[in-house]
Structure 1
Amino acid sequence: MEDEIDLATSLAEGLRADGYTVDVAHDGATALSRIQLGDPDVMVLDRNLPILDGDTVCRTLSAMRHPVRILMLTAAAGLDDRVEGLDLGADDYLTKPFAYRELTARINALTRRLDPGDTSRSVADLVLDTAGQKVTRRGMPVRLSTKEYAVLEALVVANGGLVTYRQLIDHAWDEDYDTERAAVKMAVYALRRKLGTPDLIVAEHGRGYRIEAPS
């Protein structure tokens, strides 16, 4: 398992050096949680993951109709294994060991297939442009700090679902839970003040927050 973590770390460093924005999860449960918050374009998914294996992650995202493109990694090189992975919902398949240049070529190919589409998401009269990281309410721009935007983005992308303190910290701070829980509350306080009324952010005591249109 240590070798796999080292490989993931090495690949992430290489991809970041090549200009990609990269988030790393070392188990399937964490990967599912983060992908629903981060909304990435491409997911490099190892079939051999702890807690939830790659097949389960792939099957779950496919059932959700999540738009992320999935590049499946596996040590199994047989035709049946490749077909099985694609049938689960993967967009491409790469067997280990592989050359770094082949990995980036496949990622780039998957990125070219993406539908540019509309990058905006809305809740009531609030509009969030994920491409430009801009926020408007009632057509007026709302200026947010980097942390405030990250918290709002996580809430909007969750589409009304609960986003826990832990998920918000992973998404916006990626630091110690005990230290940063108060910072989440401060960011939400600032968001409420800047976004104005009616309030769109709902607190679930001791758990986290969600966003919803006022009734």
Structure 2
Amino acid sequence: MSINVLLVEDDIDLAATVVDYLEIEGIRCDHAANGIQGLSLIEANDYQVILLDLNLPKLDGLSVCQKVRENSDDTPILMLTARDSLGDKVAGFDAGTDDYLVKPFEIEELLIRVIALSKRRSGQASTLNVGELTLTLKARSATYAGDSIKLTPITFKLLEKLMREANKPVSRAALMQVVWGDEQPDSNSLKVHIHHLRKQLEKVDAKLAIETETGFGFVLRAK
């Protein structure tokens, strides 16, 4: 799996060292020197990990982290900071970071953390939004323009996966793995649950549709 990383760091010498080292290891790394530029790159690109300095010009790291989570972006975030007090770490986790690395750090440890974080999505995003469709993860509920959508545990998992990959086709195999893991029923079961999910979206007159990608799977996109 290719790994794309964003480093938001105003120390140019440190940034150059990190970018060069990661790229030697086969990891592509974009760089932003301030919080505003970092947010712009996050909105424009798909990253597997965000490396975020705490003390940034224009917009500090905590604010960047908060805005990323408010946008329902669950990209794992590793906070880089010289502050190592418990209070600072709590503030970071409250803002939505996934892990901390205190400066100065060993570059090899940074690489290990990046690879580990790239294999999962963050648990910090509390909601997912696609248009007026909102999925609240902890409550396991869904609404469209304020109207409640009735979901079974299986259709919730399907909708979550489709929303995370909105506008991107998701294979049948990937959807079945998300719902049933290795103990999978026949493929007709997936078809039945997708049909039920479509009906629930129709009931709230959602301006979204789950379209069939012939021979591959399904995609959630605007009508």
TM range (shorter): 0.5 to 0.7
Q: Identity rate of aligned residues, in percent?
A: 41
Aligned equivalents of 1:3, 1:26: Cα separation in 2: 4
Gaps of 5+ in 1: 130-211
Measured after TM superposition, the shift of residue 108 of structure 1 is 1.4
Q: Please, which runs of 5 or more residues in structure 2 have no aligned partner?
A: 1-8, 123-160, 171-220
Q: How does 1:1-215 map to 2 (within 5 A)?
A: 4-114=11-121, 121-122=166-167
CA distance in 1, matches of 2:12, 2:67: 23
Contact 2:77 2:99 in 1 (8 A): yes
1:176-212 per-position Cα deviation (integer Å, ceiling 9, x unaligned): xxxxxxxxxxxxxxxxxxxxxxxxxxxxxxxxxxxx9
* Superposed structure 1 runs of 4+ greater than 6 Å apart: none
Given that 2:10 and 2:33 are in contact with CA atoms closer than 8 Å, whether structure 1 keeps it comes out as no
Q: Distance in 1 between matches of 2:53 and 2:40?
A: 16
Contact 2:50 2:76 in 1 (8 A): yes
SS of match in other structure, 1:62: helix
Q: Separation in 2 of the partners of 1:97 and 1:57? A: 22
More strand by share: 2
**Matched AA of 2:28:** T
Judged with a 3 Å threshold, the aligned counterparts in structure 2 of structure 1 residues 120 and 89 are, in CA distance, closer, same or farther, namely closer
Give the partner amino acid of 1:81: D
**Residues in 1 aligned to 2:63 and 2:222: alpha-carbon distance in whole angstroms:** 32
Number of aligned positions between the proteins: 126
Q: Once superposed, what is the RMSD of the aligned Cα atoms? A: 2.5
